[in-house]
Amino acid sequence: MTLKWLDRIEETLISVLMGAATLVIAMAVLHRFLAGVPVLQDWIIRIDVSWAQELCIYMFVWMAKFGAAYGVRAGTHVGVDVVVRKLKPGHAKYLVMFSLLAGAVFTATIGTLGATFVWENGAHYAFLHAFGMDTGEIPEGPTSPDMEIPTWIAYACVPLGSYLMGFRFLQVLWHFIQTGDVPHADHGHVEGVDDNPSLATPTALAQEELKP
């Protein structure tokens, strides 16, 4: 189950958010430094950058939500495998599948709760207003203190990122059922260590069990 276009969108969004946040932070730090220079301070203090901190917070939250989904796909999340290591390979594979399914259910639940909150926090009003429909008694929703944008836009990362993360769990689960393989990123890997069966990971043992 490969969706290259979705992978590219995910990676591009994370990269753009990371780059933009870095630039905004650098600009804010430079502004604060130059504001203390006597020759420039009269001109610099006229430039309002009070929005920079708020924008960076929102960008980092979006980055974290979509980065978590990327982590599921790439296998970079930290897992506690004390119990799994004590199981036989045949049993370990079922626990791996259960953990992936539980992750999908949990993130889907968070996504649904987040979607409800976003919808009631102003997205419903924005949708009706955008299409020229009667908004009735539906509240417009609050705005952020510095940038004064609708807060539902900032909170939209919760349902979007959570649903994407849930989809990634299902994607990994399906791939594991078919091939017995799950994404695994080990930056501390030493060549030849896995040659020792006693050091094999629970996931690796489960993978061996699924192989014909």
* 36 in Cβ contact with 75 (< 8 Å): no
**Minimum mean pLDDT range among 35-39, 136-140, 149-153, 199-203:** 199-203
The confidence score (pLDDT) of residue 194 equals 53
The most confident of the ranges 33-47, 65-79, 98-112 is: 98-112
Average pLDDT over residues 135-152: 94
Phi-psi region of 136 (alpha: psi -120 to 50; beta: other; left: phi over 0): left
Q: pTM for the complete prediction?
A: 0.81
pLDDT confidence of 198, banded at 50, 70, 90? Answer: very low
84 phi, psi to nearest 5 deg? -60, -35
The confidence score (pLDDT) of residue 168 equals 96
Average pLDDT over residues 179-184: 80
